[in-house]
């Protein structure tokens, strides 16, 4: 990695020598190298871009306008572009993805078939597990629900709340508010298979199912790639400057 203090000394020397063009070229190269890596999260309206931004811990300004907006498509000029889809790829997605440099994230995979070339994620669940831990009362309620034999229990929030089960409606509503139907469905499946799971172990199952770790790793890898590319561009510029008479 170039030494910033040394770069400043070279820049000061160029200015002192009156080499204005060289100084400007070097200043531009340094500015581009030091600028924060820009991550953009984009996609059609309604695919869950805001929730993905929150789940990944990105800045609120990372989200673009919808690709299918009547006001025109956003400019995708970020160093890293995360393209969110939900369900099948639509024509609006195809045109935006044509450049081939976006990291495709399929949100809401608990409700749709997964796509082969997309990273699966349940952003609402990722947000829930980031903000909450299972209480012992919740764990007890979930164990009781896991023992129920009603196959329709988690088909919808309405059926979950209306079910004739041992856990009272207030607790079921609290579970829905905190863990979402997707989280409850995954938790019940895990507890049915392994009733002795602890609260921490159950939360870990939900973290894995949410897919957020893999997506974060994918974003981090692309951020590092972008930084490496900037460093190469800076070195190339330094070589061009050094070669000038």
pLDDT of residue 112: 78
pLDDT tens track for 98-107: 877 899 999 9
Q: How far is CA 133 from CA 99, 136, 198, 215, 216, in A?
A: 40, 10, 11, 21, 21
pLDDT tens track for 86-127: 988 888 888 888 877 899 999 999 887 778 889 999 999 999
Q: Which residues contact 147 (CB under 8 A, 6 or more apart)?
A: 192, 195
DSSP state of 104: E
The H or E element that residue 84 is part of is strand 80-85
In the sheet where 39-43 sits, what is the strand order?
39-43, 80-85, 103-106, 119-120
Taking the domains of the chain in order of start, what are their residue ranges? Answer: 4-35+234-243, 39-121, 133-209
pLDDT tens track for 134-152: 999 999 999 999 998 788 9
Helix axes 20-34 and 4-16, enclosed angle (nearest 10): 160
Contact between 187 and 142 under an 8 Å Cβ cutoff? The reply is yes
pTM of the model: 0.83
Q: Is 154 exposed, middle or buried (0-12, 13-18, 19+ CB in 10 A)?
A: buried
pLDDT of residue 18: 67
pLDDT of residue 161: 96
How far, in whole angstroms, is CA 135 from its chain's centroid?
27
């Amino acid at each position: 990695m170039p030494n910033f203090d040394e770069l400043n000394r070279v820049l000061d020397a160029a200015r002192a020598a009156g080499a204005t063009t060289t100084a400007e070229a070097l200043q531009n190269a340094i500015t581009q190298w030091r600028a924060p890596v820009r991550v953009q999260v984009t996609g059609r309206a309604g695919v869950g871009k805001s929730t993905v931004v929150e789940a990944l811990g990105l800045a609120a300004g990372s989200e673009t306008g919808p690709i299918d907006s009547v006001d025109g498509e956003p400019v995708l000029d970020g160093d890293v572009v995360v393209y969110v889809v939900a369900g099948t790829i639509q024509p609006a997605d195809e045109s935006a993805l044509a450049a081939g440099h976006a990291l495709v994230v399929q949100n809401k995979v608990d409700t749709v078939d997964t796509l082969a070339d997309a990273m699966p994620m349940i952003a609402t669940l990722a947000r829930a597990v980031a903000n909450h831990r299972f209480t012992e009362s919740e764990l007890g309620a979930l164990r009781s629900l896991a023992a129920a034999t009603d196959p329709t229990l988690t088909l919808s929030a309405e059926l979950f709340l209306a079910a004739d089960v041992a856990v009272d409606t207030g607790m079921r509503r609290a579970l829905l508010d905190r863990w979402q139907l997707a989280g409850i469905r995954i938790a019940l499946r895990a507890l049915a298979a392994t009733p002795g799971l602890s609260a921490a172990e159950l939360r870990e199952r939900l973290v894995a199912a949410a897919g957020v770790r893999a997506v974060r790793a994918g974003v981090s890898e692309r951020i590092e790639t972008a930084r490496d590319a900037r460093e190469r561009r800076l070195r190339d510029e330094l070589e061009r400057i050094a070669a000038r008479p």
